[in-house]
Amino acid sequence: MARKRRAFAEFKEDGHNWITLASGEYYPDTLEDACLLYQPVLTMFGQLLKSSESSQRFFLMIAEVAEPWMRIQLARVFKRYVSPSTSVEMLKRKTRAEEIVDRFGDKFRPINEVQAAFTSRPLPDEALCALLWEYKDRGKSGYDLTERLFDMINSHFPELQLKGPKRAGLDIRLGEVFDDYPYPNRPVDFVLYDTNGKDILAIGLARYDGDRGGAQEDDRTGGYRNAANEILSYAESHNLNIKVIFINDGPGLLLGSMWDDYARLEESWQDKIAVATLRMVPEKITYEWLRS
């Protein structure tokens, strides 16, 4: 007789033993590399700053930089010096530079103040290089998580077919999986197929929670709940036996109500959802459950 799978809630008492911590870097060990990497960015920023008659023109000149990586780093420095209330995601959109200037340019810091602030700092500016360095590996913990997850699933279920980006890459859109999916742009991280490569056993998302709480915590679990309801309602209406897997790991699980929220999510559909950390995968993701 197969052993009953433990619910996510049952792991809470010793939850700290079930999470995996991402490796990090020590300060100030990274400063030398950070300054080497970002000094060219700050040098170009200073050159463009000197040749700009206004902060609006300065931004348009940054938007004209052809190399994407350099343009994004310049946008990050611009945000710090000129427009702290404007998101980098907005600033780095090259094709919308004129629109951004029209809408937000009147709130940019005056160019003479920017010049004075920039020249008051050393080159390279260690403080700013350290801040920029924080962006360098953003998302790396999540990529590490999915890579290790894929290795585990391929090892435990070698005959099943797992599709999705193992590290960086475009998410799978469910409109590519189901011809009539009502929300074709719904992104997922992986789809697990049976041995025939056609029958879908599970659809999953994987995230590393470093230090989430408050509104971020609510956004994550709320978004997961919406995704699970949407996917499982579609499966039910099409008589498909599909499970939903949420792989979450990291110390953020131990903060606030995150663990309890995930436990309630798992319980919301009778044995159709599995929430697990990497260490729980062998116990929670089984052939019996996938095919039940």
Is residue 74 predicted with pLDDT exceeding 70? yes
Does some domain include residue 210? Answer: yes
> Residue 93: phi, psi to the nearest 5?
-80, 95
Is residue 169 predicted with pLDDT exceeding 90? no
Rounded to the nearest angstrom, the gap between the alpha carbon of residue 280 and the centroid of all alpha carbons in its chain is: 21
**Range of lowest pLDDT (51-60, 125-134, 252-261):** 252-261
Residue 272 CA to residue 229 CA, distance in Å, equals 11
Same domain, yes or no, for 193 and 211? yes
Same domain, yes or no, for 275 and 176? yes
What are the start-end ranges of the E strands in the chain?
Answer: 161-163, 172-173, 187-188, 190-193, 200-208, 243-249, 273-276
Q: What is the pTM of this model?
A: 0.70
Same domain, yes or no, for 215 and 233? yes
Give every CB contact of residue 213 below 8 A, 6+ residues apart in sequence.
252, 255, 256, 258
Assign residue 253 the CATH number of its domain. 3.40.91
Same domain, yes or no, for 132 and 47? yes
pLDDT band at 215 (very low <50, low <70, confident <90, very high): very low
Same domain, yes or no, for 213 and 164? yes
Same domain, yes or no, for 191 and 284? yes
pLDDT band at 167 (very low <50, low <70, confident <90, very high): low
- Domain edge (last residue) among 78, 111, 136: 136
Sign of the CA dihedral running 122, 127, 129, 132: negative
Does some domain include residue 280? Answer: yes
Does some domain include residue 195? Answer: yes
Burial 246-283 (b: 16+ CB within 10 A, else e): bbbbbbbbebeebbebbbebbeebeebbbbbbbebbee
DSSP states along 98-124: HHHHHHHGGGSPPHHHHHHHHHTS-SS
Same domain, yes or no, for 132 and 38? yes
Mean pLDDT across 6-28 = 85
Same domain, yes or no, for 182 and 212? yes
Mean of pLDDT over the chain: 87
Does some domain include residue 14? Answer: no
Residue linked to tokens 């000197």: 50
pLDDT of residue 1: 41
- Domain edge (last residue) among 113, 136, 159: 136
Is residue 19 predicted with pLDDT exceeding 70? yes
**Are the CB atoms for 103 and 56 separated by under 8 Å?**
no
**Are the CB atoms for 244 and 273 separated by under 8 Å?**
yes
Query: Which residue type does 279 have?
Result: R
Q: Please state the domain count of the chain.
A: 2
Does some domain include residue 13? Answer: no
Mean pLDDT across 236-244 = 96
Same domain, yes or no, for 155 and 241? yes
**Are the CB atoms for 106 and 171 separated by under 8 Å?**
no
Highest mean pLDDT among 59-63, 88-92, 94-98, 134-138: 59-63
pLDDT of residue 93: 72
**Range of lowest pLDDT (2-6, 158-162, 179-183, 198-202):** 2-6
Does some domain include residue 5? Answer: no
Mean pLDDT across 145-155 = 87
Residue 275 CA to residue 225 CA, distance in Å, equals 12
Give which of 165, 164, 200 is closest to 181, Cα–Cα: 200
pLDDT band at 140 (very low <50, low <70, confident <90, very high): low
**Residue-range definition of the domain harbouring residue 58:** 31-136
Residue pLDDT, tens place only, 176-189? 999 999 999 999 99
**Range of lowest pLDDT (125-139, 200-214, 269-283):** 200-214
Same domain, yes or no, for 178 and 252? yes
Is residue 265 predicted with pLDDT exceeding 90? yes
Same domain, yes or no, for 145 and 280? yes
pLDDT of residue 211: 63
Residue 52 CA to residue 114 CA, distance in Å, equals 11
